């Protein structure tokens, strides 16, 4: 077939543009997008965008997006700006254009030569809008997400299409082609998702790499950048003002419509990132204070926890350990050795199984049963000693007891003769991030000494949690 097309890019998001206003979308558009989008073997692009006749009265056109894998998307910020430029240069020379999309009618304004601004509308972090499952109803802010045995902290939002945002220390070192598909096809996102990996460079600069559903690694994502930047812009204005601001004042300072700002603030208010006073003005929320406490503490959790671990060791006697979850194991990140001649030593970096150590049981008890079973299914439940629990029924019973008690117990299950109580350390969001454990030789887990050490371990864990910003 003979095809007339225009190749355009917006911030390096490149698409093949077809004029379908009179002819309609080609019947084989999915296969066509797959074929023509192949780089090095065809035109090469992130996909095909069809410029169609509008469906809304008064609109100038409709945009339909077909990704490189043939699937249809709902919205593309960079793509719609290119559509506006195409319309402007092909007979619709208006300073403001209304364009239909599968996520609603969008307004695009000409800001200069080849420069367009799109009104994205409101965004939301509620699960139903993305959609997302198994993550609660929302707002989906700073939640744990396990992707192919790695645990990430993510914030999920919809700006007409779904996005998953995660902060990383270095975006350049990411093997995006290996990591991206796990996010895109995660079971929690039934319609797949775009993922932004964001590095905070300094107070005014972010660096981002994106994996887009249907297209893979792309050089830009307008909706992703827009959603990140918009939220940070509003927070920056509220911080610099040193006083509450009205919706009108924020609109005046940003140049954005009040409807957009109201949508952003509504979602941030739900997660306590901003607060709205009785007079309607907005200010920074208490959640930011908690984040600040957590960030400050996370710079060196070992240094923060060390005095509490040393005190715990001095009043108990056995060795004391601070551990964190690493896939299907726990890893020791700090220790204070016992004063006893015969003592337990675990080098920093030592990996231990989840199911038969008290530290591991702390993390398992913080998971839902189905999640714990999925994590444990990655390895054989090896019987290290005759006391090791290796059946789901036994483990779930122990996990439920740990949830009710607020601590977990190991009774010779990993090393015969060793007993250990461990308690959870929570961050400002209430998530279990670490475990504090006392490991030594006790007559019995029912002995007075062991019961005393349970109480002391729980107290130390609570103190470290408070230092991390947790408020019960």
266-313: per-residue pLDDT in tens? 666 765 678 888 888 888 876 666 555 555 544 457 778 888 998 888
pLDDT of residue 148: 83
Active site residue 293: no
More confident residue, 251 or 111: 111
- Assigned domain for 242 exists: yes
Question: Please, what is the average pLDDT of the chain?
Answer: 84
Domain assignment present for residue 223? The answer is yes
Last residue of a domain, one of 250, 284, 318: 284
Whether residue 18 is found in the same domain as residue 135: no
CA distance linking residue 50 with residue 69, whole number of Å: 15
Within-domain flag for 38: yes
Same domain, 108 and 126: no
Q: Which pLDDT value is given to residue 160?
A: 73
- Which of 156-165, 258-267, 354-363, 463-472 holds the top average pLDDT? 354-363
Q: What is the pLDDT of residue 373?
A: 85
- CB-CB contact of 80 with 72 (8 Å): no
Expressed as residue numbers, the domain containing 224 is 120-284
C-alpha 13/C-alpha 49 separation (Å) is 12
| Per-residue confidence (pLDDT) for residue 418, from 0 to 100 | 87
Assess if residue 289 is contained within a domain.
no
How sure is the predictor about 20, in pLDDT bands with cuts at 50, 70 and 90?
very high
Residues 151-166: pLDDT tens digits? 888 888 887 788 888 8
382 in the same domain as 419: yes
Share of the chain above pLDDT 70, in %: 86
Handedness of CA 388, 392, 393, 397 (dihedral sign): positive
Average pLDDT rounded to a whole number, residues 216-225? 66
Q: What is the pLDDT of residue 122?
A: 64
- Model pLDDT, residue 298: 47
In the set 20, 50, 52, 76, the catalytic residue is: 76
pLDDT recorded at residue 408 = 95
| pLDDT single digits (tens) 229-244 | 666 666 677 777 778 8
DSSP 135: S
- 296 or 122: whose pLDDT is higher? 122
**Cα–Cα distance measured from residue 355 to residue 298, given in angstroms and rounded to the nearest whole number:** 27
Q: Are residues 231 and 166 in the same domain?
A: yes
Please check whether residues 385 and 402 belong to one and the same domain. yes
Residues 58 and 206 in one domain: no
Out of 63, 84, 119, a domain closes at 119
Alpha-carbon distance of 379 to 365, in angstroms, equals 18
Q: Do residues 310 and 247 share a domain?
A: no
Q: What is the CATH number of the domain that holds 366?
A: 3.30.450.40
Q: How many CB atoms lie within 10 A of CB 137?
A: 9
Total count of residues recorded for the chain? 472
Per-residue pLDDT of 397-438, as tens digits, reads 999 999 999 999 999 998 888 889 999 999 877 889 899 999
The mean pLDDT of 319-327, rounded to a whole number, is 84
- How far apart are alpha carbons 385 and 415 in whole angstroms? 7
Higher pLDDT, 291 or 189: 189
When pLDDT is averaged across residues 357-372 and rounded to a whole number, the result is 91
Residues 153 and 260 in one domain: yes
Number of neighbours of residue 3 by Cβ within 10 angstroms: 10
- Are 422 and 449 within one domain? yes
Q: Is residue 425 part of a domain?
A: yes
| pLDDT over 50 at 206, yes or no | yes
Answer whether the bond into residue 195 is a cis peptide, omega within 30°. no
In a domain, 292, yes or no: no
Mark which of 242, 261, 284 sits at the end of a domain. Answer: 284
**How confident is the model at residue 330, as a pLDDT?**
87
Residue whose C-alpha is closest to residue 319's, from 349, 360, 347, 296: 347
Q: Work out how many domains the chain is built from and give that number.
A: 3
Domain CATH for 13:
3.10.310.10
> With left for phi above 0 and alpha for psi between -120 and 50, is residue 303 left, alpha or beta?
alpha
The confidence score (pLDDT) of residue 183 equals 94
- pLDDT: is 238 or 118 the higher one? 118
Interacting residues of 347 by C-beta distance below 8 A, sequence separation 6+: 332, 335
> Do both 151 and 236 map to the same domain?
yes
On the question of pLDDT at 463 being above 80, the answer is yes
In a domain? residue 293: no
pLDDT tens digits for range 325-341: 876 788 888 888 755 54
User: What is the mean predicted confidence (pLDDT) over 31-48?
Assistant: 93
pLDDT in tens, 394-406: 899 999 999 999 9
Q: Does residue 294 lie in a domain region?
A: no
Q: 108 with 164, same domain? A: no
User: Which position has the higher pLDDT, 62 or 446?
Assistant: 62
Please say if 221 is a catalytic residue: yes
Euclidean distance between CA atoms 443 and 428, whole angstroms: 37
DSSP secondary structure letter of residue 93: -
Whether the predicted pLDDT of 343 surpasses 80: no
**How far apart are alpha carbons 427 and 297 in whole angstroms?**
9
Which one of 221, 356, 419, 458 is the catalytic residue?
Answer: 221
315 backbone dihedrals φ, ψ, rounded to 5°: -95, -10
pLDDT of residue 342: 44
The average pLDDT across 430-457 equals 89
Q: Do 32 and 58 fall into the same domain?
A: yes
Neighbours of 42 (CB within 10 A): 12
Across 71-75, 225-229, 326-330, least confident range? 225-229
- Mean pLDDT in residue range 245-258: 81
């Amino acid at each position: 077939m003979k095809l007339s097309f225009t190749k355009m890019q917006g911030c390096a998001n490149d698409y093949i543009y077809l004029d379908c206003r009179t002819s309609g979308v080609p019947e084989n558009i999915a296969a066509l997008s797959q074929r023509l989008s192949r780089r090095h073997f065809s035109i090469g692009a992130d996909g095909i965008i069809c410029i169609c006749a509008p469906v809304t009265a008064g609109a100038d056109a409709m945009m339909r997006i077909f990704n490189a894998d043939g699937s249809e998307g709902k919205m593309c910020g960079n793509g719609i700006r290119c559509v506006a430029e195409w319309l402007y240069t092909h007979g619709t020379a208006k300073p403001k254009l209304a364009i239909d999309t599968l996520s609603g009618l969008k307004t695009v304004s000409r800001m200069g030569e080849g420069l367009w601004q799109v009104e994205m509308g409101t965004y939301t972090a509620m699960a139903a809008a993305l959609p997302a499952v198994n993550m609660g109803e929302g707002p989906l802010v700073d939640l744990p997400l396990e992707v192919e045995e790695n645990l990430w902290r993510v914030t999920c939002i919809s700006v007409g299409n779904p996005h998953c945002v995660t902060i990383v220390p270095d975006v350049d070192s990411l093997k995006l082609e290996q990591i991206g598909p796990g996010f895109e096809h995660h079971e929690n996102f039934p319609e797949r998702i775009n993922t932004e990996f964001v590095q905070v460079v300094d107070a005014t600069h972010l660096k981002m790499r994106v994996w887009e559903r249907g297209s893979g690694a792309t050089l830009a994502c307008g909706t992703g950048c827009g959603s990140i930047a918009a939220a940070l812009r509003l927070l920056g204005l509220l911080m610099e003002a040193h006083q509450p601001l009205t919706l009108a004042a924020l609109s005046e300072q940003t140049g954005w419509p009040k409807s957009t700002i109201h949508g952003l603030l509504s979602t941030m208010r739900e997660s306590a990132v901003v607060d709205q006073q009785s007079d309607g003005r907005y200010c920074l929320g208490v959640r930011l204070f908690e984040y600040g406490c957590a960030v400050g503490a996370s710079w060196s959790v070992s240094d923060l926890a060390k005095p509490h671990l040393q005190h715990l060791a001095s009043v108990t006697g056995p060795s004391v350990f601070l551990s964190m979850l690493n896939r299907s194991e726990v890893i020791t990140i700090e220790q204070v050795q016992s004063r006893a001649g015969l003592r337990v030593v675990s080098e920093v970096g030592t990996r231990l199984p989840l199911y038969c150590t008290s530290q591991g049981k702390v993390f398992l008890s913080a998971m839902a049963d189905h999640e714990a079973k999925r994590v444990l299914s990655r390895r054989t439940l090896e019987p290290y000693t005759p006391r090791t629990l290796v059946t789901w029924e036994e483990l779930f019973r122990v996990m439920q007891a740990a949830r009710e008690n607020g601590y977990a117990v190991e009774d010779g299950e990993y090393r015969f003769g060793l007993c250990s109580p461990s308690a959870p350390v929570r961050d400002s969001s209430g998530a279990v991030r670490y475990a504090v454990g006392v490991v030594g030789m006790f007559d019995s887990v029912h002995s007075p000494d062991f019961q005393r050490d349970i109480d002391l371990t729980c107290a130390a864990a609570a103190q470290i949690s408070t230092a991390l910003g947790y408020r019960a």
